[in-house]
């Protein structure tokens, strides 16, 4: 598989299989034939991740109308995802990647710095994938303001 850091538009994305907030195992194959928005975020219930997830929640009807589904992936466990979904009424699946294997395969598990401390964590990133599992567009080091709208615009334009 191509290094995710160098994934180019039109290339297949890494396949994945993770436990989802609905209790089922979810893979890329489950979305075959539909566009898919995959957003990677650091943690449930944190202010920026909550804002991003709620922005996607608010645009879910338009994203689905454009023929795409949304999934969020973080290292949090399913119990945490369940509370996050319930508190913020998120209408899409959240997938749990506690060993960060999928995060690593997409190149979003990276060295981060905060308050002079270095640690490994999720770099907020979003990937738009076509119905055959090929990358349409990638957003890395996402700034949340207007991001969900930018994704919707890309879904509509693809």
Instruction: Report how far Cα 119 is from the mean position of its chain's Cα atoms.
Output: 21
- Would you name the residues annotated as active-site residues? 49
Q: How far apart are CA 2 and CA 10, in angstroms?
A: 12
Q: Tokens 């454009």 correspond to what residue? A: 66
At 128 the three-state DSSP class reads: strand
Q: How far apart are CA 158 and CA 156, in angstroms?
A: 6
Strand partners, 40: 73, 125
Provide the 10 A C-beta neighbour count for residue 34: 13
Q: How far apart are CA 24 and CA 145, in angstroms?
A: 31
């Amino acid at each position: 598989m191509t290094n995710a850091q160098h994934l180019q538009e039109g290339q297949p994305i890494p396949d994945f299989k993770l436990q989802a907030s609905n209790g089922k195992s979810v893979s890329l194959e489950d979305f075959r034939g539909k566009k898919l928005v995959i957003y990677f975020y650091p943690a449930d219930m944190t202010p920026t991740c909550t804002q991003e997830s709620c922005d996607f929640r608010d645009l879910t009807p338009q994203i689905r109308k454009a023929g795409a589904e949304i999934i969020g992936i973080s290292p949090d466990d399913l119990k945490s995802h369940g509370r996050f979904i319930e508190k913020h009424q998120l209408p899409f699946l959240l997938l749990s990647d506690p060993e960060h294997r999928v995060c690593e395969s997409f190149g979003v598990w990276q060295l981060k710095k905060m308050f002079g401390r270095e640690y490994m964590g999720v770099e907020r990133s979003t990937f738009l994938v076509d119905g055959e599992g090929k990358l349409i567009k990638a957003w890395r080091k996402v700034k949340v303001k207007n991001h969900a709208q930018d994704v919707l615009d890309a879904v509509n334009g693809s």
